[in-house]
Copies of this chain bind each other. A is one copy, B any other.
Amino acid sequence: MAFREDLDTLVLAVLQSGPMHGYEISRRIRELSEKVLSAGEGKLYPCLHKLEQDGYVQAEWIPQENRPARKVYSLTDKGSGAIVEKRKAWEAFATGVTAILNPPKPEASHG
């Protein structure tokens, strides 16, 4: 058991820095979080495909010379808009966890 991130939220959030290909999204998640979070390829690519399919991001293949082509993703309007809700969901979650981690103390006897 461990806390687990919502990869959709993370992917959409990193794309706020500008268009980016999958491998880089993965790298940024690892680096920005100082290795606390990681988006393994086994779930990153399926996540990206779903996000594209649902219209949160759009993708374009950019050929490279002497390197594999890149599929560059960028936020759509729908994707940008969704970040607002996702951020709220994160805040609610974090508030909830914090409330439990800082529970009301047991009654101290005082007299």
Which residues on A are within 8 Å of B, measured CB to CB? 1-10, 13-14, 16-18, 28-29, 32-34, 36-37, 47, 87, 89-90, 92-97, 99-101, 103-106
Contact = CB atoms under 8 A, between A and B. Distances in A.
Contacts of A1: 6-8, 47
Contact of A100 (B4, B13, B97, B106): B13
Q: How many chain copies does the complex carry?
A: 2
B105 A17 contact: yes
Given A17-B104, A94-B94, A100-B13, A3 B5 contact: yes
Contacts of A99: 32-34
A93 B36 contact: yes
Contacts of A7: 1
